[in-house]
Amino acid sequence: MIIDSHTHIFPPDFIARREELITDTCFAELYANQKACMVTAEDLVASMDESGVDVSVAAAISWGDAGLCSAHNDYIIDAVKRFHGRIIGLGMVVINMATNPLQELERIRTGGLAGIGELRPVIGGDAPANEEAIGQVMDYLAAHDMVLMMHASEPTGHLYPGKGKLTPENVYKFVKQYPDVKIILGHLGGGLPFYLLQPEVKQGCRNVYYDSAAMPYLYESRAYRITAELAGVEKILFGSDFPLISQKRALEYLFDAGFGREDKNRVLGSNASRLFSIQMEGN
């Protein structure tokens, strides 16, 4: 089974009026450029069928606008129902006490979503925004065994839309506060796995997983095996970041990484199946 642990989908009307949505800070950072592709659930499933992906995790973005956030959650909830067994959904809450994030989080959970993502608790700063609200959200996720997918970015290399400041230092400051939450760090954690060689960092990241979203844009394919050696192959998840990168291309990159059959199958699907409680074929 192949599980893509990192994709994004949007309602058709969001795509149609994307120029209106750039008033939202996070959306503008990611999609102000018209070349940045946006797709629907139908587009995602068509890509899955073409590339041989069995299940995809479809995530939201870190909205600042509560209305847009709620509408996006509605769409992902509906997509999970329409494509039952093919799409696992991650919604989003606005991290602000004024928006009552726990109420929306409860709606996400009862709507059948597995957690929230792709969260960016740091946008343009060095400290998490609204720590009280984040603490309540993280406590809720832990209590209900839900997953958090979080953006992470490398501190070196080229700039790109959405890179942000969630570098290993900031990511570690965040995740170590919430050891009971299952956290997926996007983009191989921005290089955080290297610091797992420090015992206290390894302990603080014991419930953290690392997906390979956008990896062909960021690292050589051997980064897969290096990260697996540092973090443990059981913590590595295949993720494409579709539609930024095609699922087919992302899979080819993984196949080029040099994993043995057993480890490759773990990264392709069995790790994610355990994390998201997906029934594997033959089980």
Reading the block at residue 87, the tokens are 């799409």
Class of domain 3-275: alpha beta
Distance CA 247, CA 240 (A): 6
DSSP per-residue letters across 74-130: HHHHHHHHHTTTTEEEEE-----GGG-HHHHHHHHHHTT--EEEEE-S-SSSSS-S-
pLDDT tens digit at each of 283 positions of the chain: 999 999 999 999 999 999 999 999 999 999 999 999 999 999 999 999 999 999 999 999 999 999 999 999 999 999 999 999 999 999 999 987 677 899 999 999 999 999 999 999 854 444 455 788 899 999 999 999 999 999 999 888 887 777 878 899 999 999 999 999 999 999 999 999 999 999 999 999 999 999 999 999 999 999 999 999 999 999 999 999 999 999 999 999 999 999 999 999 999 999 999 999 998 765 4
DSSP class of 57: E
Report pLDDT for 32.
94
Residue 149, helix vs strand vs coil: strand
Where residue 145 falls (left for φ over 0; alpha for ψ -120 to 50; beta otherwise) is left
Amino acid code (one letter) for 271? N
pTM given for the model: 0.94
Q: What pLDDT shows up at residue 283?
A: 42
3-state secondary structure (DSSP) of residue 39: coil
Domain locations in the chain?
3-275
Tokens 């209900």 belong to 144
